Amino acid sequence: MLSIVNPATTEQQVSGEDASDDLREHARLALAGDEEGTRALLSAAAVPMLVVVRRVLGASNPDVEDVLQDALLGLIQSLPRFRGESRIVHFANRVALFTAMAARRRWRTRAKFTEDSLPVDRADETGWQSPLAAAISSRRRSALLRLLDELPVKLAEVLAMHFVLGYTVDEIAAEMQVPVNTVWSRLRLGKEAFRRKIEADACLADDLVEGTA
């Protein structure tokens, strides 16, 4: 998807004039191999990345910390490929999102051959008016994530960035380095696949529609 960029060029891009991106300086130091800079970048990026990992895996999943570590490692390893066309935090969130989605796919594959080793998704009641509302929300999220597991990767990534991260079409296009029309097209295809799934699966429909009426 992204070609390898000359680290020197990347440093220049990372050092750009985007004053609103306060992680740029940490990223620049990390790219230069500075240990303190790396630690500062990871510590700052880990906060939003943890939110993303929890959204995908469920807040009570015991593997949240492991997957966060994988995502942080992935961030450092993929930093040389950062082209500077979005904010570092967006880049980090995307790494966290795809790391968590990949973890889900691995578990689902393994779950086919082992007994019910389901990822945990206990309803997080924070911010909801009632435990029932929290439970309904949790089921809806789980249902969407199950759907994303089954879609082709390119569609799933765009839908995930849209729903899980709340990115606009322009933001998704900037992150994925694809034209805006491509993002529109994938979102529409994804929503169509979504609609067909709901029509074909009564249980899924119940999970998704309950509470929306």
Partner 1 sequence: MTASQCPIDLMARRRGGGLTSDEKAELDLHVRDCETCALAVHLHEDFEHSGVARMGDTRLIARAVDAVMVSRRLGKGRGRMPSFTTVAVSAAVILALVSVASAGMWAFRRYSKVESKAAAMRKIAPSSAHISGHIEHPTTREAQEPQAPVPPPPTANPAVAPAFERARGAHVAATSARPTVPTQAEITTLFTAANESRRAGNYARARTLYRDLQRRFPATRETRLSFVSLGRVLLDQGAPGEALGQFDRYLAGAPDDVLAAEALYGRARALTALERSQEAKQSWNGLLSRFPDSVYADVARRQLEKLR
Distances (CA, A) of 152 to 1, 22, 31: 15, 35, 33
**Interface region with partner 1, contact rule CB under 8 A, candidates 20-28, 34-42, 86-94, 149-157:** 34-42
Is 37 a binding residue for partner 1 by CB under 8 A? The answer is no
Is 34 a binding residue for partner 1 by CB under 8 A? The answer is no
Is 59 a binding residue for partner 1 by CB under 8 A? The answer is yes
The nearer residue to partner 1, 69 or 182, going by C-beta atoms, is: 69
* Size of the chain, expressed as the number of residues it contains: 213
**Interface region with partner 1, contact rule CB under 8 A, candidates 3-11, 82-90, 128-136, 148-156:** 128-136
**Interface region with partner 1, contact rule CB under 8 A, candidates 5-13, 19-27, 83-91, 121-129:** 121-129
Residues 159-178 as x/- pattern, contact with partner 1 by CB under 8 A: ---xxx-xxxx-x-------
Query: Which residues are at the interface with partner 1 (CB under 8 A)?
Result: 35, 38-39, 42-43, 46-47, 50-55, 59-60, 62-66, 68-69, 72-73, 76, 103, 106, 110, 114-124, 126-128, 131, 135, 137-138, 140-142, 144, 162-164, 166-169, 171, 184, 187-188, 191-192, 194-195, 198, 208-209, 211-212
